[in-house]
Structure 1
């Protein structure tokens, strides 16, 4: 009788073990499915974000090329937008468009929007003259970068 009970008990343990393993396998499968969905949603969101960045970059670059946007303002905006792109580290935009980044580095310390209003008018005019001087100095090379950017993003 003791031998039958041990044999039966062994089968019960094996069956319970299988139930636990199957339950864990099912749970792991569900988690993997959720992870796959989450990754797909993330990839779609990144793709959408890059599309929006692409549109903004091309619009600003065209406006700069057509003289509708000051070169300094466009450079500030483009450098930030390019750095926000997913592949920005691999693309090495600073090396591909050095004049844009040169302008950015020269004027990034200058206040914009609301921060600008905190400065006296004389100081704002001084910064504007400095910025306009950089625009004149770098105009040809910035436009060269812009045209290359438009080719790259076209």
Structure 2
């Protein structure tokens, strides 16, 4: 084999090795970056979940101390539970949050409530207060239970 062919093959091999090392390095960098992004996303999800749990517990404490209307608290807790533990609303005593939500979900809220005629709002408020009165004991028990629940 001629010497120039040997040197050509050695050079081609060295170039192939350098190219493969570059490719491997780029792949390692991409893997590291993907792992970092995934860890950041998981940390964000964990923090968001913990924030939701904290919100549920604060609302439950507000119920226990009569600092919030029960209907509003049930709607909020139901909305938060939908994100982290929807199956919990099918169990006693937490089922009351879903039941109250079902009874009140036809009522307008926020801007829609402000845009509604006053007599109709008063009629809805009367209905809402009746629902709150009917479920008051169950709501308080569920609030205590959910405040002590380990998510």
Given the alignment of the two structures, is residue 71 of structure 1 paired with residue 66 of structure 2, yes or no?
no
Write the deviation string for residues 87-122 of structure 1: whole angstroms up to 9, x where unpaired: x35xx1222321111111221221122221111111
Q: Which runs of 5+ in 2 are unaligned?
A: none
The answer to which of 129-138 and 5-14 deviates more is 5-14
Matched-pair contact (CA < 8 Å) for 1:65–1:146:
yes
In the TM superposition, what is the alpha-carbon distance from 1:22 to its structure 2 partner? Answer: 0.8
Match of 1:138 in 2: 135
Write the deviation string for residues 120-142 of structure 1: whole angstroms up to 9, x where unpaired: 11110111111112112222222
Match of 1:22 in 2: 21
SS at match of 1:49: helix
Match of 1:105 in 2: 102
Alignment of 1:23-62 (within 5 A): 23-62=22-61
In the TM superposition, what is the alpha-carbon distance from 1:153 to its structure 2 partner? Answer: 4.3
Match of 1:129 in 2: 126
In the TM superposition, what is the alpha-carbon distance from 1:8 to its structure 2 partner? Answer: 2.5
Superposition RMSD on alpha carbons, in Å?
A: 1.9
Q: TM-score, normalised by structure 1?
A: 0.85
In 2: Cα distance, 1:94 partner to 1:21 partner: 56
In the TM superposition, what is the alpha-carbon distance from 1:149 to its structure 2 partner? Answer: 0.4
